[in-house]
Structure 1
C-alpha cells in the first residue's frame, strides 16, 4: 500500500512538472537580415518564454500579404503563431493574451515602428496601439500604450 502511494505521488509530481515545462507555441518571424530592431524584437519574445524561429527574407512584406494583413498596418517584420499573423513590434504579453483568448481574428499589428515598443527601446517613448485585425480587415485597439 505504501509503495502504491509513493508511486502515485511520483507520477502526479512528474505530470505537474511536465505540464509546467510545456513550451509556448513557436513564433515564426520573417525579417530582413540587416534590420537590428527585428532582431531585438525576437530577443524580447525569447526573454518572455517564446521559442522563435527567425528567417531572413528578401521582402518581409510578402509575408504580410501572404497572411492577409492590410498593407496599411505594415511594419518591418511579420510573424505567425498558432494561426495568427503578427505584424510589427507587438509586446509579448499581448501575444500571450491573444493565444489565451483565441478571438476570431487574423492577428495583431503594431503599424510602423513606434519608439518605445519592444525592439525599439531608447530614450524616447511614443504612445502606440496594438491593433486586433478582424477577419474582414477592420481593426480595433487591442491595447494602448502611453
Structure 2
C-alpha cells in the first residue's frame, strides 16, 4: 500500500510543473463590455480562439474601467480589457496582445481607437476578408502613443 501512495505522490509531483506551465501558456484577460454589443462578444470569441482565457464582464460604463487602467479617453472604443497589468482598448488583434506579453514594454498598453471595419470583432460577414486600414497603438505612461503595428486595407 505504501508503494502505491509513493507512486501516486511521485506522479502528482511530476504533473504539477506541467499543469503550471499549461496555465501560464493561456493568458487570462479580463474584458469589460456592454451586454448588448455584438462586436464586443465577437472580439471575446477572437481572443478565445487565439488561446486566451477570457473573464468577460458586462458593465454599464466601460469608461470607468478605461480610466481605472489609465487609458486616455481619446483612444476610447466599445470595450476595455486588462491582461498581465496592461490595458487593452478596443479591437486589438490577439497576435498583438501576445507580442505585448512577450516583449513586456514599459507602457500602459495597446489601443485601437474607434471601431475599424475588419478588425477582430468588426468583420463583415458578407465580406470577411475586407478590412479598413488601422493602427494598433502602444500607449506610453504619459499617454503618448506610437504605432505598434499597422494593418493595411484589404478590399476583400
Q: Please, what TM-score do these two structures have when normalized by structure 1?
A: 0.87
2:142 pairs with 1:141 = no
Unmatched 5+ stretches in structure 2: 1-6
Out of 116-125 and 131-140, give the one that drifted further: 116-125
RMSD, aligned α-carbons? 1.9
Classify the secondary structure of the residue corresponding to 2:123.
Answer: coil
Question: Following the alignment from structure 2 to structure 1, what is the Cα–Cα distance between the partners of residues 138 and 60?
Answer: 26
C-alpha contact 2:27 2:51 (8 A) present in aligned 1: no
Give the number of equivalent residue pairs: 138
2:50 to 43, 48, 51: 48
In 1, Cα distance between equivalents of 2:17 and 2:144? 41
Corresponding residue number in structure 2 for 1:22:
23
Deviation at 1:125, TM superposition (A): 1.3
* Corresponding residue number in structure 1 for 2:87: 85
Shift of 1:144: 0.3
- Render the CA deviation track for 1:26-52: whole Å, top value 9, x for unaligned: 100000000000000000000000000
Q: Specify the alignment match of 2:134 in structure 1.
A: 128
Specify every segment of 5 or more residues in structure 1 that has no aligned partner in the other structure, as ranges: 1-6
Q: Trace 1:65-104 onto structure 2 (pairs within 5 A).
A: 65-104=67-106
